[in-house]
Amino acid sequence: MKNLNSGIGIRGIVEGFYGTPWTHETRMAMIPFLAGEQMNAYIYAPKDDPYHRAQWRHPYPEEKLSELRELASECRKNGVHCIFAVSPGLDVHLHGEKVEEDVAFMIHKLHAVQEAGILNYAVFFDDIEDDDGAGQAAFVNRIARETEAFRTLPLITVSKTYWRKSMEHAGMRSAYADGFHGTLSPDVLLLYTGNGVVCPGISDAEMAETAELMGRTPSIWWNYPVNDYAEGKLALGPVSDLPKSCLPPAFFINPMKYPWLSRIAIATGAAYARDPAAYQPEETWRTVIRKQYGDLAEDMMAFAAQSQHLETTWRDEDGLTGMVGWPDGTALREQMDRVLQGGETAALRASLSGLCCSVKRLQECLPEAVLSECSRQLILLQRQCEDCITACEILEDARHGRKTDPERIPGRGAKETDRHAVRVSQGVSDIFPQEVYDLLSRQAAGENMK
């Protein structure tokens, strides 16, 4: 394995999203990419692999073991630790005679993947109902002891309360967290997502406070660019707002189910993990896209700038909505605001026309594998830009006293609320036509009152 002696020691990705797992070919292609970005770890943990979670006691069929054998070989060749995860928390037995049976099931499973060449493991208890924190930690400790002889990394785990707000009550550890953290062996790496399941960032101060609360410095499971809660929105920005001095022992990025587009955020996360103190998100983001997209880099930056921000559709116990990533289209939004405040539309129309041209070039020239992951968003963005241009033209007509009808403005009306709905340029080109309509309607109402 590569000895990466700078930055965060263990750094990589966790294939830990819900929905269709990556294909074997996708994983095989991802490993050399990770190595090229000086990442040294990959966790296999797709939630919808039945043998990983729902049917964790069942052995993998030979065909799947063969794939894992190839994956382990590719990881060794590229200096990447292959880490196999199991999520037994839906129905694992933690006490009595049956706990011994389940420990045996787990060890048997791990021995099978060990024979396939995978030497490192994780046991996850995220997204479950069971509140027996002490029992879960004791189970993890057993697995850690049973696999110690052949692991090359510490065992990794996730508790049920893997975000800050879920593990404390009135500034103290909750009963569950107290049981889990108080029982877990100090040799086990414990993953943590921040103040929320999805959150804007993790500061050095928060890391220090959380380390005191957990009784250890947590490792980070970073939920960006993962979008399994909003699959129609692509996360194409950089990772940002992560600790620079109070560093985790391990850092894992949870990607989207779209492996090619995930590489933008993954590469920025790799740069962060290599040198957290020196990391510059925007500069790195531009460098990464130039490296990955070559002659199409400027067009890809124009598109990716319109799809960076993700917002959850659930609310935590404090009523806060989780969000991560930079706002979409900040430069375009500023131009739109100037127009709505009375400014000329020429610069905005030029920007929208340029964005349309970038979209068309991407549609014509992107590799098929990449285009298949973003074709719907490109089509939507082009339509939104065209609608915004029309809105500008109607606004100009009104300003110059030419007869106009705000009802002609396209792209207005209620927005799709389904979590799988395609979204792009949120709060920017998706709402500008409605904003122009509302402005003209207010002006017309004011004229009628005179």
What residues are annotated to the active site? 127
DSSP labels, 243-303: -SSS--SEEEE---S-HHHHHHHHHHHHHHHH-GGG--HHHHHHHHHHHHHGGGHHHHHHH
Distance separating the N- and C-terminal Cα atoms of the chain: 78
Q: Give the C-alpha separation, 430 to 414, whole Å.
A: 11
Contacts of 113-117 with CB under 8 Å at 24 or more apart are 113/60, 113/65, 113/68, 113/84, 114/150, 116/65, 116/68, 116/69, 116/72, 117/68, 117/69, 117/72, 117/73, 117/76, 117/82
Q: Are 263 and 292 in contact (CB under 8 A)?
A: yes
The alpha carbon of 377 is separated from its chain's Cα centroid by a whole number of angstroms, namely 18
Q: Are 377 and 422 in contact (CB under 8 A)?
A: yes
The alpha carbon of 171 is separated from its chain's Cα centroid by a whole number of angstroms, namely 28
Closest C-alpha to 85, from 156, 160, 7: 156
Token pair belonging to 111: 């021995």
Three-state DSSP state, 450:
coil
Using the 8-state DSSP alphabet, how is residue 408 labeled? G
Helix or strand (DSSP H, E) at 436 = helix 432-449
Name every residue whose Cβ is closer than 8 Å to that of residue 271 and which is 6 or more positions away in sequence: 37, 279, 284, 288
Q: Give the C-alpha separation, 448 to 450, whole Å.
A: 6
Residue entry with tokens 């990449």: 370
Could you tell me whether strands 189-192 and 172-173 are parallel, antiparallel, or unpaired per DSSP bridges?
Answer: unpaired
